[in-house]
Amino acid sequence: MTTTVPFFNPEKMHDESKDWLSFVNFIKTEYLFLLDTIKDVILPTTNDYTQIEKEEIIDAINRSEKRNNIITRMINSHIGFLEDCIEENDKQNQDAFISEHKSIKITVNRYKIDYDRLKKQIINIIKNARKEEKLEYLLDSK
């Protein structure tokens, strides 16, 4: 049985890090869209339950946004670390970088899963609010 040693490929890891950065930056703009949509759809309703739900959603988005900022700083630091590893060509730093890279990859993947779940919940809440709004309109028009 042979064991494989992780191969230090700076170009591949740099590209992957840039992809992560692009992904978290895209999510930052998506937060703005989701917050605006929630405010536009749920704000006009006077239902107490909907108002509480809106506040919980906004709080969840804010928590996710804070996590996004932490991950963004982590990735930027990681990219800087990669540049240092390339310049110094130090085996110990390369091993540390590979370990950090794997850790960030896991963090970004978990964040993506959590964010997708949050986004689905928000979209379902928006759909339900629209349905209620339409139903109230139909009942009021009769």
Q: Where are the domains of the chain?
A: 10-141
pLDDT in tens, 78-101: 998 888 777 777 777 788 888 899
Per-residue pLDDT, 5? 47
- CA pair distance 25, 85, nearest whole angstrom: 25
How many residues can be counted in the chain?
A: 142
Token pair for 118 = 């949050």
Q: Mean pLDDT lowest for which of 25-34, 82-91, 95-104, 113-122? A: 82-91
- Which pTM was predicted? 0.78
pLDDT in tens, 44-70: 665 666 667 777 888 888 999 999 999
Per-residue pLDDT, 8? 65
- CA pair distance 16, 20, nearest whole angstrom: 6
